[in-house]
Amino acid sequence: MMEGEDEAVVRRCLKGEVGAFGELVEKYQKPVYNLALRLVRNEAEAEDVAQTAFIKAYENLSSFKPGSRFFSWLYKIAANEAMNAIRRLRRFEPLSNGNGAAADEGGLEATERLDEEARILDALMDLTMDHRAVIVLKHLQELSYEEVGQVLDISTKKVKSRLFSARQELRTALRKRGVSEQ
């Protein structure tokens, strides 16, 4: 489904075809869920964030401007939702012992933590929210600088400078967590 096709689906939804929104959910559920998961690092919370993002998008579909990119608009909603969740988690479930992980502490998770990938993602949790968002959007969601700027409401120039600082911060976090230099 191309960008124009997204718009056509949006128009169908606005005409009252609720089921049409399912096509957009199907298309974007993976990137939206992954965005949420990489930002909140908690599967249940990420699913909640993704659900809320889709529902908010649906409820505000009439404010979506035709001609703009649907996925940028949706990502923006999802990123905001994820950031709200992070703030909430930080406030009410203090990150234990400052290790930066808001992840579940179940047996499976504990095993996963031994995995390099889990350590990378934990290192990501050490970053500030702005830095984490820019890294996730650019490197894990593979958005362009312009798209990252649109989602985070900042200029492309700002994206570049923030990304540089974020990568440096991540490098330090990776070292701290003993992630091997590949």
Distance CA 109, CA 123 (A): 15
**Do residues 45 and 90 lie in contact, with contact meaning Cβ atoms separated by under 8 Å?**
no
Q: Scanning residues 139 to 158, which ones bind other proteins (CB under 8 A)?
A: 139-140
Rank residues 29 and 99 by Cβ distance to other proteins and give the closer one: 29
Binding string, residues 75-114; x marks residues near other proteins by CB under 8 A: ---------xx--x--xx----------------------
Q: Of the candidates 53, 44, 59, 45, which has an alpha carbon nearest to the alpha carbon of residue 72?
A: 53
Examine residue 174 and tell whether it contacts other proteins (CB under 8 A).
Answer: yes
Interface segment toward other proteins; rule CB under 8 A; list 1-9, 47-55, 69-77, 100-108:
47-55
CB 127 within 8 A of CB 135: yes
Longest dimension (CA), the chain: 54
Among 117, 146, 153, 155, binds other proteins (CB under 8 A): 117
* Whether 38 contacts 83, CB under 8 Å: no
Binding of other proteins by 43 (CB under 8 A): yes
Query: Do 134 and 163 meet the contact criterion of CB atoms below 8 Å apart?
Result: yes
Minimum CB separation from other proteins for residue 99, in Å? 18
- For other proteins, how many residues bind (rule: CB under 8 A)? 54
